[in-house]
Chain A
Amino acid sequence: MMKGNEAIGEAAIRAGCRFYFGYPITPQNELLEYMARKLPEVGGCFLQSESELAGASMLYGAAAAGKRVMTSSSSPGISLMQETVSYLASAELPAVIVNISRGSPGLGRITPAQSDYNQATKGGGHGDYNILVFAPASVQEMMDLTMLAYELSDQYRIPAMILGDGIVGQMMESVVLPEPVETIPEKSWAACGCQGRERNLVISAPFTDEDLIDLNRRLQEKYRVIIEREQRAEMIHTEDAEFIFVAFGIVSRLAHSVVDSLREKGCKVGMIRPQTLWPFPDDAFNRIPRAKGVLVVEMNEGQMLIDVRLALNGRVPVRHYGRGGGWVPSPDSIEAEMLKLMEEVEKNAVSL
């Protein structure tokens, strides 16, 4: 058994990450401390930075050198790191950033929340860019999606984020440890001294106006490929489901228990559980042929809701159940919301 936060650290090391830079903030300190203990054992480097600004830039430097790197924080610290995330996107550097998010805005409280959905999935910093965003719902997925994050981040030269919450970060659960990665892909673009080759530049400030427009075009082309190939979602009883939950992270587990209990009562309910939040699994919403109503449950005021609405494009009525600020819905209340939606639809009293 492992804590979710530690599982991320273990997976990172197994994925070949040897460089961690970060600044303490609850509720993700177990990850920082895990890396502080474990990285020296495998010849890696742990460095506690003077701020999230500096930590993210250290990450940028080590990523530019071609290494697998990690930093982690929680919501207010992630806001500070957005400066570098935009640079990483522009310089097309792979890096894995972990956000064990908390109740916000402002300092907020360390209670679990999903209020950073928009920040994570719509770029977060300045500019037309996206990063991969993974939403683990279990400790096992903390490991598996971290391994995947490194693989895809390298493959596409794009930053990746693990977006968790305090519950998944703090909980312990049994895990099957993934096999360590044997070989990390060669990075011919890395800035590590130009012996025997032309020099490499890792830059985010092209020299001409046209160069920057070209960079943007190239990024968008890459994003299109990723959207096409890398959407991931778990489909639960969606083949015959008439009413469908959409939930990610810890909320999906609460909603899953409601799917079980409503199925026992004979209700045809199911769930789409996005595992990637960017790219958002739009395609999953084309595979719910019998859907009459969709209930988005999230620990925020309606952020994923917008992506669900876009994916459905008016085909099915969508309702939202959620609050920000560190509120966790109980399975009973989730069930009640679904029953309400079902009743509205049956009475034909529902609008889009």
Chain B
Amino acid sequence: MTHSPETATVMTAADIDRALTRIAHEIVEAQRGTDKLILCGIPRRGVPLAQRLGAKLANIDASFDPATSLGSLDVTMYRDDLRTSGARTPEPTQLPTTGIDGSTVVLVDDVLYSGRTIRAALDALSDYGRPQAVRLAVLVDRGHRELPIRADHVGKNIPTSRNERVGVRLADIDGLAADAEQVVIIR
């Protein structure tokens, strides 16, 4: 950053928690339960979000076991912009040891923007197995899709311009206090 950017808070810690609670209920409703359900976070910020969704699902439906139904899926090596945006060190991919064949995988990410990350995630997922269905849950949908991809569960739709950036600041990743978490728009 060469100049100090202007930021506006669009979600507070409480808003984020309420949005995740609603998404958890939506997932149970849409799947008619949590049978064969796998929550798969996309590093980095999708992973803690998936863990929180998992904890909420376990509260709603006691048969859901977060220990065997949570995963992370790194998409670095599947991106189509490696040549222009450069090499990032991949994050760990950890999927349930039972595999993903025949399950319903809910991909979890923080911000849905161009859709290219999700395209990469779908490619990555197909290298690990053949899920019965793949769904997408995001905390923020900021528009400007470049691919025919949409989210099944959205925490908040935030209209943005392409010049703006959306920052999701989470306790686990950004080293904040839990009540200081927020989603901001950076102009």
Q: Is chain B found bound to chain A in the same assembly?
A: no
